[in-house]
Chains A and B, each alone.
Chain A
Amino acid sequence: MNLTTFYLAVAGLILAPLVGGLVAGVDRVLTARMQSRMGPPLLQPFYDVGKLWSKVIAPASHWQGLFVRWALVASLASDVLLAAGADVLMCFFVQAASASFVALGAFCGSSPYSKLGAQRELFQLLAYEPVFLVAILCMAKVSGGFDAYSFMASDQPLLYKMPLIVPGLLFVVLVKLRKSPFDISGSHHMHQEVVRGVYTDYAGRDFALLEIAHWADVTVVLWICSFLWATSPLAMVVTAFLFLFAALVIDNISARLTWRHMLKVVAPISLVLATANLLWLYME
């Protein structure tokens, strides 16, 4: 590891959650504008986390604090791996570990809504992780390596060779942003049929840390999506924004699905499309 890689890793560690927070702010403002509302200030997510951090409340379970911190470490580690140009597959697995820690922490709580949310979170993991994995395999096949720099080094956009993974990646973005129709385990919006789902029992500082972990996760997912058009940094930012914007439009025009529908219909379709793309790449 040379010094530049170290600096990039540190930049990833600090900037990725900040970018995720800004994405959350843009998300709330754009959502409000789509609904003919003014919406909160752009920095509202940072105020929310600051407020949560200043609230002192006993945790629902002592294990929760541990799992939240591990989720945060795993989410930040996935950002650091991407920024340092490490193996994207490793980044994917570390990020999946983070989501598992969130579910484990929710299982420790006493609220039935929290437990129901945790079960749904596991179903979501089961639905989107294979699609995400195949999408990364497609990118690796086209770019000829698994490290992030290879993904960003190709001359022509990866999208030309993998149009069929776009629905799958959009599915992943919707799940990770906790947007309708896949805000099943816990909605981005504050109220749903299972209160806050997987987030119900987290409160105070634990919830603030979880929110930062969520920002880091969102950055990773949008970053991986931006590899589809990685001809320049600006093109990557625009690609990530297009995925975010598509997710917001879908969120505003669709109702929540059940986990059964997600697992039996949406996940298989997007997985079949992504796998067909992978097979085509191998047969080419």
Chain B
Amino acid sequence: MSFLKTSQIKSPWLMHFDCGSCNGCDIETLACLTPVYDVERFGIINVGNPRHADVLVVTGTVNPRNAEILKNIYSQMPDPKLVIAVGACGCSGGVFRDAPNVLGGIDKVIPVDVYVPGCPAKPEAIMDAVVTGLGKLKGILEAS
């Protein structure tokens, strides 16, 4: 693979969006950045700007209000991009799936590449999801 394609796999900048989570999964996501898990060793950086992001990590359920914001953030990210749905709520709506204001999981609004189950999801599982997503991206880049 060329240097530019290798770079795309070795430098995933991650943006975290709380779509209506109880903050359990958000705390676990941020725990990945701490010295215990040190996600930066994979080249991963937590960015606050969708224009700089390659991976969108979304926690929580989607409702009609935040669905627009989620779509907006997703559309501002440059291709190729990955979306990771974290936690039971992000995957399917979790215990809130039948609530009248809940649309369901993240995949009701934007395409999801990797699902991370758990309530809350473990930091190890979130990191594994990013690495799995990068494996998927590598396959796409090699095929192109």
Give the interface of A toward B (CB within 8 A). 28, 32, 35-41, 44, 46-51, 53-57, 60, 190-192, 195-196, 200-201, 203-204, 207
Contact = CB atoms under 8 A, between A and B. Distances in A.
Contacts of A49: 7
Given A38-B38, A47-B6, A195-B49, A56 B78 contact: yes
A35 B33 CA distance: 11
B78 A51 contact: no
The 9 A-B pairs with the shortest beta carbon distances in the complex, nearest first, are A50-B7, A203-B51, A57-B78, A51-B11, A37-B38, A51-B7, A54-B4, A47-B10, A55-B78
Given A41-B10, A44-B10, A190-B48, 18 more contacts: A28-B40, A32-B41, A35-B35, A37-B35, A39-B38, A39-B40, A48-B7, A48-B43, A50-B6, A51-B11, A54-B8, A57-B51, A57-B78, A190-B47, A191-B46, A195-B49, A196-B47, A201-B51
Contacts of B45: 190
Contacts of B7: 46-51, 53-54
A70 B47 CA distance: 26
B142 interface: no
B11 A48 contact: yes
A117 B64 CA distance: 33
Contacts of B13: 48, 51, 190
Given A54-B5, A190-B13, A38 B48 contact: no
Contacts of A40: 40-43
A211 B137 CA distance: 24
Contacts of B3: 50
B51 A47 contact: no
B70 to A, nearest CB: 18
Q: Which of A39, A44, A49, A201 has the most C-beta atoms of chain B within 10 angstroms of its own C-beta? A: A44
B44 to A, nearest CB: 9
Nearest to A114: B49
A32 B43 CA distance: 12
Interface string B21-50: 000000000000001001011110111110
Contacts of A54: 4-5, 7-8
Contacts of B78: 55-57, 203-204
A253 B25 CA distance: 29
B45 to A, nearest CB: 5
B48 A191 contact: yes
A192 B47 CA distance: 9
A49 B51 CA distance: 15
Nearest to B41: A38
A37 B3 CA distance: 26
Interface string B71-110: 0000000110000000000000000000000000000000
B50 to A, nearest CB: 9
B138 interface: no
Contacts of A201: 51
A47 B11 contact: yes
A166 to B, nearest CB: 31
A40 B40 CA distance: 6
Given A37-B35, A48-B11, A190-B46, A196 B6 contact: no
